[in-house]
């Protein structure tokens, strides 16, 4: 129970908190700095006293003691000069995937008082600036979203010795913790579902083939269809954008106008593809059954609502945050990588 002590008309100090809580200044300091060895009852008393006094920790002073900044970087890395239908920044803020990643990270980081710093890297200059920022100790760790197979950043990031977690398994051998959804297994779910509907003239709008997710979804889909005896599969490469999905669907229909099913490797591309099918006189799902990938807000924006493969992005991102905080709290302790399993969400498109 905190003491009823009059407070001075100035910013509260550690001594004020200690006086109100009835504990030592050292105990207050340990609580403020996140020590895990403080008795829970004493911790509650200090926290109540912090609220009573309005004490605001001096982050600069605290950093000198803890050597932490209470911030982590969310780094989004992309191949430079990749041909796409929208600029890098525009795609990032329009794609539901990135919003879901941020939501999952904040679910864990916000209660821990950790700030999130967004950083973009899409050419050599921006990578150099990023690495300089990280090496100067501005953040405690990094969550990296890397969009292409040959990205040097996972290896460069490991060389900084900063705690780090990668969204997706690195394609080059790199001792870095990652969180991944089984992309091939998700695409196999789509193939099995379309085959179970009795569809045989099947095509796919794939993701970019310079991206690991695009490669895995395409190969997993084709391999699963081959098991069902379906090997003549038309494919058009998209770029994971709304406009790119529309353009790829036009190419796919020009090549195979008799299609009766299509797997589209992202919901956002499916949102662009459906109007193309409708304008071509194709009813969805009667003439063409559609399955997407992600189970994002774009799946519900489709008309009809999209049957899709769900990868639990929010849960995956929350796990990335937890793994990163464990590394930060116990430097040098290896954190296990985690693979999530996708599921099929059935709606009206297939």
DSSP string for residues in 150-206? T-SHHHHHHHTT--EEEES--SS----EEEEE-HHHHHHHHHHHHHHTT--SEEEEE
Q: Which of 31, 81, 84 is nearest to 55 (CA)?
A: 31
**Mean pLDDT along residues 256-274:** 96
State the Cα–Cα distance between residues 137 and 230, nearest whole angstrom: 54
Q: Which of 342, 307, 291, 295 is nearest to 100 (CA)?
A: 295
Q: Examine the pLDDT at 335 and tell me if it is beyond 90.
A: no
**What is the helix (H) or strand (E) element at residue 292, kind and residue range?**
strand 289-294
**Mean pLDDT along residues 299-325:** 95
Contact status, residue 177 vs residue 337, Cβ threshold 8 Å: yes
Q: Examine the pLDDT at 68 and tell me if it is beyond 50.
A: yes
What's the pLDDT at 64? 47
First-to-final CA distance of the chain:
61
* Residue 265 binned pLDDT confidence (cut-offs 50, 70, 90): very high
Number of H helices, E strands in the chain: 14, 12
What's the pLDDT at 62? 53
* Residue 331 binned pLDDT confidence (cut-offs 50, 70, 90): confident
Length of the chain: 350
Q: CA separation (Å) from 348 to 137, 264, 285? A: 50, 15, 7
For 88, counting Cβ atoms within 10 Å of its Cβ (0-12 exposed, 13-18 middle, 19+ buried), the class is middle
- In percent, how much of the chain has pLDDT > 70? 88
- Take residue 153 and report the two structure tokens written for it: 């950043």
More confident residue, 58 or 26: 26
Query: Of the spans 59-63, 213-217, 341-345, which averages the highest pLDDT?
Result: 341-345
Q: Examine the pLDDT at 112 and tell me if it is beyond 70.
A: yes
Query: Of the spans 44-48, 128-132, 237-241, which averages the highest pLDDT?
Result: 237-241
Q: Examine the pLDDT at 61 and tell me if it is beyond 70.
A: no
Average pLDDT, the chain: 87
Contact status, residue 287 vs residue 258, Cβ threshold 8 Å: no
**Mean pLDDT along residues 25-34:** 79
Query: Of the spans 74-83, 116-125, 141-150, 233-242, which averages the highest pLDDT?
Result: 233-242
Contact status, residue 96 vs residue 241, Cβ threshold 8 Å: no
More confident residue, 149 or 196: 196
Per DSSP, 7 falls in state P
State the Cα–Cα distance between residues 210 and 189, nearest whole angstrom: 23
pLDDT tens digits, 157-168: 888 888 999 998
What's the pLDDT at 58? 59
Following DSSP, what letter does each residue of 195-236 receive, concatenated?
HHTT--SEEEEE--TTSHHHHHHHHHHHHHHHHTT----EEE
State the Cα–Cα distance between residues 149 and 138, nearest whole angstrom: 27
What's the pLDDT at 4? 55
Residues 6+ apart with CB under 8 A from 308: 267, 270, 291, 292, 293, 294, 295, 299, 344, 345, 347
Helices (H), 6-39: 14-21, 25-32
Q: What is the largest CA-CA distance in the chain?
A: 82
State the Cα–Cα distance between residues 30 and 35, nearest whole angstrom: 5
State the Cα–Cα distance between residues 165 and 176, nearest whole angstrom: 7
* Residue 148 binned pLDDT confidence (cut-offs 50, 70, 90): confident
pLDDT tens digits, 150-196: 778 888 888 888 899 999 887 777 788 999 999 999 999 999 999 99
- Which of 75-89, 126-140, 333-347 has the lowest average pLDDT? 75-89
What's the pLDDT at 201? 96
């Amino acid at each position: 129970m905190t003491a009823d002590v009059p407070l001075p008309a100035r910013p509260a100090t550690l001594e004020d908190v200690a006086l109100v809580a009835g504990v030592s200044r050292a105990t207050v300091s340990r609580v403020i700095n996140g020590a895990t060895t403080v008795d829970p009852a004493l911790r509650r008393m200090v926290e109540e006293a912090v609220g009573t006094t309005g004490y605001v920790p001096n982050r600069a002073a605290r950093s000198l003691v803890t050597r932490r900044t209470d911030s982590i970087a969310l780094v989004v890395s992309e191949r430079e000069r990749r041909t796409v239908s929208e600029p890098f920044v525009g795609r990032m803020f329009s794609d539901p995937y990135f919003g879901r990643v941020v939501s999952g990270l904040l679910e864990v980081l916000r209660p821990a008082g950790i700030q999130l710093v967004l950083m973009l890297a899409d050419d050599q200059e921006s990578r150099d600036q990023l690495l300089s920022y990280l090496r100067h100790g501005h953040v405690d760790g990094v969550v990296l979203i890397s969009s292409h197979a040959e990205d040097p950043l996972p290896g460069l990031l490991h060389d900084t010795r900063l705690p780090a977690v990668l969204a997706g398994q690195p394609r080059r051998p790199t001792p870095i913790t990652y969180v991944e959804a089984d992309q091939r297994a998700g695409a196999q779910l789509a193939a099995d579902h379309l085959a179970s509907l009795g569809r045989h003239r099947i095509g796919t709008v794939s993701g970019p083939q310079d991206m690991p997710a695009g490669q895995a979804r395409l190969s997993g889909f084709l391999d699963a269809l081959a098991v069902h005896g379906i090997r003549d599969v038309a494919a058009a490469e998209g770029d994971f954008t709304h406009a790119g999905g529309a353009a790829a669907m036009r190419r796919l229909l020009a090549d195979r106008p008799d299609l009766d099913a299509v797997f589209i490797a992202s919901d956002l591309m499916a949102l662009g593809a459906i109007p193309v099918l409708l304008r071509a006189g194709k009813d969805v799902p009667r003439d063409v059954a559609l399955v997407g990938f992600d189970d994002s807000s774009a799946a519900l924006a489709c008309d009809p609502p999209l049957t899709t493969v769900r990868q639990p992005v929010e849960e995956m991102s929350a796990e990335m945050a937890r793994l990163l905080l464990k590394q930060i709290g116990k430097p040098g302790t290896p954190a296990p990588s985690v693979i999530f399993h996708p599921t099929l969400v059935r709606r009206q498109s297939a």
